[in-house]
């Protein structure tokens, strides 16, 4: 059995804690590797390596840092198949989804390649008599990212791509469930010409997280995970004087107006609700059809589409989604399905009995559909994070807008309609951070920013784009005056052509 070690200062670092976590193959249910779990000692070793390497990296001009990012992008693209296969083997998502995971991360790396332009400051000539003012953005020093299991390539690149490009050194603490791809990214960064110590990967559980939140040399922490832990990370990190952005859970709604293109709606919902086994914070687990006719048609067509869904092993090119990440998570989803039925929702399609021939020990669960879900149900209020779609019926447009607006989460929302007026009003009124109009998963492109509202995000700065640059830098403003008669004026000679 292989051991997955930490990656510190450009080399593998063996764990000394004696603690390991099992890394499963979700397709078979078997343990395929074990990952070292760090103590504060290993974390400190990574921080010290980062702190030693960071000043020289910060002093490297932005163009040269961008060239490293360009080469890193090329290397990741060249190894796309390798990375996707490795990702699928530990996470369980199908190869197409794994390739998308890597590609969406690379889009932020592409943005980071333009960092010389983004880092330009502001300048005011003649702010006062002989006075000019300019500003500059400088890196924070050593920063850290704590990332979840569901996007082991994309979310790390969302964080470290910008953090490193602006001149910081980065400590990545990925999920211990699928840790291999983050290590490969660290190796590829080194191969791309990145200095040793600038990108470090430290594996671990809560012990490592707490060590990151307490370490005095770590100036900022970016987190993605569940809302309860996001709130804990934000509270603990800020209490220790750190800058923190902590992205939490979601319960995204898709509102379907009577005039919507139902062919597009059904096609989009199937991918958004069940793709990647629903293990996405931007999945669409709740649909809100407006009017009985819309709801009845939607239900009938979704049931028919569910019957055609192919659930298979992650390497099956015909599979539309694969297993969930662990046996514990599969059981959690099954418990939510049981609870939904007990709460009185109509269980139209039950995925709990699904089993894949030849892979009976894999962590599979079939697509599930509930109808007549109400807002008082715990299964509506909480994030299930699995292939479970809930229909919440609404009678009016106003009622439909109110549902996502009143929910504790405010990550993403979608509206399906042919009406520009309805779309404009919906986008203005809905209390959610990211809105899609006839788009089921409204994840912004890399040069915009990602971030939800309410319990979906803690902190004032979103991820990637210009907001990411702001998070990983601090502004310094210089006010300067060069009065006439300065002692050095006489020594200054303007060069001529003589």
Same domain, 432 and 287: yes
Same domain, 206 and 233: yes
Same domain, 430 and 296: yes
Give residue 339's pLDDT band: very low, low, confident or very high (50, 70, 90): very high
Please provide the size of the chain in residues: 498
Same domain, 181 and 304: no
Q: Has residue 442 been placed in a domain?
A: no
Token look-up 């006075």 returns: 131
Cα–Cα distance, 87 to 375 (Å, whole number): 36
Give residue 493's pLDDT band: very low, low, confident or very high (50, 70, 90): low
List the structure tokens of 195. Answer: 């200095």
Q: Has residue 127 been placed in a domain?
A: yes
| Closest C-alpha to 227, from 385, 12, 402 | 385
| pLDDT of 487 | 53
By the 8 A CB rule, do 256 and 273 touch?
no
Structure letter (DSSP) for residue 276: G
Q: Has residue 493 been placed in a domain?
A: no
Q: Give 3-state DSSP helix, strand, coil % of the chain, rounded to 5.
A: 40, 20, 35
Same domain, 226 and 295: no
Q: Give the number of other Cβ atoms within 10 Å of residue 308's Cβ.
A: 8
The predicted model scores a pTM of 0.93
> What is the side-by-side order of every strand in the sheet holding 457-458?
11-13, 6-8, 199-201, 169-173, 142-146, 218-224, 243-247, 457-458
For residue 113, indicate whether it is catalytic.
no
Mean pLDDT calculated for residue range 203-225 = 98
Host domain of residue 352 = 253-437
Q: Has residue 445 been placed in a domain?
A: no
Total number of domains constituting the chain: 2
Give residue 399's pLDDT band: very low, low, confident or very high (50, 70, 90): very high
More confident residue, 292 or 496: 292
Question: Which one is catalytic: 155, 255, 281, 403?
Answer: 281
pLDDT tens-place string over residues 438-451? 999 999 998 899 99
Q: Give the number of other Cβ atoms within 10 Å of residue 166's Cβ.
A: 25
How many percent of the chain have pLDDT more than 70?
97
Mean pLDDT calculated for residue range 104-110 = 97
Structure letter (DSSP) for residue 29: T
| CA-based R_g, the chain, Å | 25
Q: Has residue 447 been placed in a domain?
A: no
List the structure tokens of 400. Answer: 């439909």
Residue 495 has pLDDT above 70, yes or no: no
Same domain, 92 and 183: yes
Give residue 498's pLDDT band: very low, low, confident or very high (50, 70, 90): very low
Same domain, 21 and 147: yes
List the structure tokens of 472. Answer: 């990983």
Query: Which domain-ending residue is among 381, 403, 437?
Result: 437
Same domain, 154 and 196: yes
Same domain, 212 and 281: no
Cα–Cα distance, 237 to 232 (Å, whole number): 8
Pairing of strands 412-416, 434-437: parallel
Looking at residue 237, which CATH number applies to its domain? 3.40.605.10
Same domain, 238 and 261: no
pLDDT tens-place string over residues 116-167? 999 998 999 999 888 999 999 999 999 999 999 999 999 999 999 999 999 9
Q: Has residue 463 been placed in a domain?
A: yes
Structure letter (DSSP) for residue 267: H
Q: Has residue 494 been placed in a domain?
A: no
Same domain, 375 and 416: yes
Mean pLDDT calculated for residue range 406-433 = 97
Same domain, 129 and 270: no
Looking at residue 375, which CATH number applies to its domain? 3.40.309.10
Q: Has residue 449 been placed in a domain?
A: no
List the structure tokens of 80. Answer: 């796309």
pLDDT tens-place string over residues 461-492? 999 999 999 999 999 999 999 877 655 554 54
């Amino acid at each position: 059995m292989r051991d997955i070690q930490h990656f510190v200062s450009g080399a593998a670092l063996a764990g000394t804690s004696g603690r390991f976590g099992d890394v499963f193959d979700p397709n078979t249910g078997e343990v395929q590797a074990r990952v070292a779990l760090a103590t504060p000692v290993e974390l400190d070793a990574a921080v010290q390596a980062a702190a030693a390497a960071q000043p020289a990296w910060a002093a490297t001009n932005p163009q040269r840092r961008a060239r490293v990012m360009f080469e890193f992008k090329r290397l990741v693209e060249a190894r796309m198949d390798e990375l996707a296969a490795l990702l699928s083997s530990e996470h369980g998502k199908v190869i197409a989804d794994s390739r998308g995971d890597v590609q969406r991360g690379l889009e932020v790396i592409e943005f980071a390649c333009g960092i010389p332009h983004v880092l330009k400051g502001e300048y005011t000539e003649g702010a006062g008599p002989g006075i000019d003012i300019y500003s500059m953005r400088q890196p924070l020093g050593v920063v850290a990212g704590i990332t979840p299991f569901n996007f082991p390539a994309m979310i790390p690149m969302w964080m470290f791509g910008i953090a490193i490009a602006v001149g910081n050194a980065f400590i990545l603490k990925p999920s211990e469930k699928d840790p291999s791809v983050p290590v490969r990214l660290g190796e590829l960064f080194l191969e791309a010409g990145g200095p040793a110590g600038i990108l470090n990967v430290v594996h671990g559980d809560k012990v490592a997280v707490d060590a990151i939140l307490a370490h005095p040399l770590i100036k900022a922490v970016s987190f993605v995970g569940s809302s309860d832990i996001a709130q804990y990370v934000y509270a603990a990190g800020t209490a220790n004087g750190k800058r923190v952005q902590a992205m939490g859970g979601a319960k995204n709604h898709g509102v379907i107006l009577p005039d919507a293109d139902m062919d597009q709606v059904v096609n989009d919902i199937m991918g958004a609700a069940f793709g990647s086994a629903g293990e996405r914070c931007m999945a669409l687990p709740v649909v809100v059809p407006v009017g009985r006719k819309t709801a009845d048609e939607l239900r009938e067509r979704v049931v028919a589409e569910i019957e055609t869904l192919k659930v298979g092993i992650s390497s099956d090119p015909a599979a539309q989604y694969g297993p969930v990440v662990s046996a514990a998570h599969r059981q959690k989803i099954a418990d939510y399905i049981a609870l939904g039925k007990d709460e009185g929702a109509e269980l139209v399609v039950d995925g709990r009995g699904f089993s894949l021939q030849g892979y009976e020990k894999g962590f599979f669960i079939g697509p599930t559909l509930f109808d007549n879900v109400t807002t008082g149900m715990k299964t509506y209020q909480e994030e299930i994070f699995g292939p479970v779609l809930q229909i919440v019926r609404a009678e009016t447009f106003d009622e439909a807008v109110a549902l996502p607006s009143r929910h504790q989460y405010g990550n993403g929302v979608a509206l399906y309609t042919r009406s520009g007026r309805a779309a404009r009003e919906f986008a203005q009124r809905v209390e959610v951070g990211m809105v899609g109009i006839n788009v089921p998963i409204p994840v912004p492109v890399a040069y915009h920013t990602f971030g939800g509202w309410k319990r979906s995000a803690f902190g004032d700065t979103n991820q990637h784009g210009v907001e990411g640059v702001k998070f990983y830098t601090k502004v310094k403003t210089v006010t300067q005056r060069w009065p006439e008669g300065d002692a050095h004026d006489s020594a200054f000679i303007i060069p001529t052509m003589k």
